A and B are shown apart, each in its own frame.
Chain A
Amino acid sequence: MNATRPLPNVGMPDDPDYEEKLAQFEARIARGEKIEPGDWMPYEYRRQLIRMISQHAHSEVVGMLPEGAWITRAPTLRRKLILIAKVQDEAGHGQYLYHAAESLGVDREELIDLLLAGKAKYSSVFNYPTLTWADIGMIGWLVDGAAIKNQTMLAHCSYGPYSRAMVRICAEETFHYKQGKEMITLYAQGTPEQQRMAQDALNRWWWPALMMFGPHDTDSPNTPVLMRWGIKTKSNDTLRQEFIDEIVPEFLEIGLAIPDPELRWDEESGHWISGPIDWDEFWRVVRGNGPMNRARMAARRQAHEEGRWVREAMVAYANRRMAVGS
């Protein structure tokens, strides 16, 4: 997070009452209380939340692009209505999250400016291209499925505004996941070409989806403090494993193959054990060198510029009304 404006300088470890306040704060979290904007919180809690919530907001906004590209090419009116509704939801989810971040002392505008300047992170899964219509179904089932896994956990977050945004998002995202599952299930039982498209989509999205849970716990320096303060309640690897265990049997049931030659069922632990994740690729994409990073940012900037006249018209209208005194 590179906020252009300093955060409230409270909750610093060298404050004289820090230890006492921290003990109260941690006791409140242990009791299951929600922390609200006016409450005392450690500076580091505020900083970590802004970092996470803003990345999450940016992911919703950039996440509109891979799917939005297919609205004009939807095969039926029904599928088109569903896809438009889904992309509208992502726009709304971005707003819920920017507003949750604002409750911590940053402005939406500065966060959006950081995104447009290419200085903000967002989920690297959106830097992969959507090559066929089957990708729309696979994103719903696999990518949104992974996102929901993470968001269901975050709905238990100790920070009230983030938790509330997550509960609302989870309730809405469920249809994103279901429509994708429906589409891929039908394709897997469809013509040989449809089956091939569904398998091809799974082959390309499987690994990026597993990477969405973030680095292994051993390489995730923020995890201990996030779990200590109830921002996260499960680690990256725990969530990833739960997701693999749930989704592998479902893909197998409809006759798709998982593109991981090392994936195996481990009787003893009762888990599906996946092969190694290519973290070099993950970091390459995070650092801006994925297949679509530049195209995504160019599309965002274009949309922002092309919407400028609307924003200006809204302000002109508001000013005029104020002058007329209506």
Chain B
Amino acid sequence: MNDTQWPRYEVFKQDKPHKPHEAVGTVHAPDPEMALQNARDVYVRRPDCHSLWVAPEDAVFKMTAYELEQDPNWHVETIPEDAPEQTYLVFTRQHHRRSMVAASHVGEVQARTPREALRRAMEQAAWTSKPVYLWWIVPQAAITASQEEDAPSMFAPAQDKTYRDQSYYKGILFGKHLQKKHAKSSPTGKKAS
């Protein structure tokens, strides 16, 4: 398992400065730095990326609403008395619409374990005003982030590649009216050979 497998990293992409980081998928890489490069190649071939985070997938604590419902004792754990508090990032999904994003960053909590972090996140009224179908808890210490000074080399090249966007090819579209127009023409007409 050391040819192409490597550890998996979750990738979080922020499209614009005021938008949240969103979980867009995973990459494999031998280290976090390479994971960031792979994330750029796999998820930023197009404009609109301001910042990328990667975190080892096994550091991300994930719970679905279904899992929480099935296991009422999910929060039961023994926390060592001297366990230090740390910052956990909280991601949620609150809809079942068609989407390319698993979960979006909503904020941070201080806690000693991921389960405790989830319990504290669930107490935040602002994050639970609508049902949450997916919770992700990520220790801040597990995240490797793209640096401001790397943004021009990592993200700027995609901005000029307008030919990757369908709107670049406008003006050649056909409407539904063609359906009827050709109803009586011969489909194997003059040029069939």
Contact = CB atoms under 8 A, between A and B. Distances in A.
Interface in B48-76: 62-64, 66-67, 70
A179 B171 CA distance: 12
B107 to A, nearest CB: 22
Given A155-B98, A321-B31, A252 B187 contact: yes
B3 A311 contact: yes
A248 B164 contact: no
B191 interface: yes
| Contact-size category for A | 35 or more
Nearest to B171: A182
A272 B168 CA distance: 31
Interface in B144-193: 161, 163-166, 168-169, 172, 174, 178-179, 181-185, 187-193
Contact of B163 (A82, A99, A195): A82
Interface in A42-74: none
B166 A178 contact: yes
Interface string B17-32: 0000000111111110
A164 interface: yes
A112 B166 contact: no
A182 B163 CA distance: 12
B98 A85 contact: no
Given A178-B169, A245-B179, A263 B188 contact: yes
- Chain B interface size, under 10 / 10 to 19 / 20 to 34 / 35 or more: 35 or more
Main secondary structure, interface of A, reads helix
Interface string A251-281: 0110111111101110100001000000000
Interface of B: 1-6, 8, 24-31, 33-34, 41-43, 45-46, 62-64, 66-67, 70, 96, 98-102, 133-134, 161, 163-166, 168-169, 172, 174, 178-179, 181-185, 187-193
Interface of A: 28, 32-34, 36-40, 78, 81-82, 85, 88-89, 92, 95-96, 99, 102, 107-109, 112, 155-156, 160-161, 163-165, 167-168, 171-172, 174-175, 177-179, 181-182, 185, 195, 199, 203, 245, 248-250, 252-253, 255-261, 263-265, 267, 272, 308, 311, 314-315, 317-319, 321-322
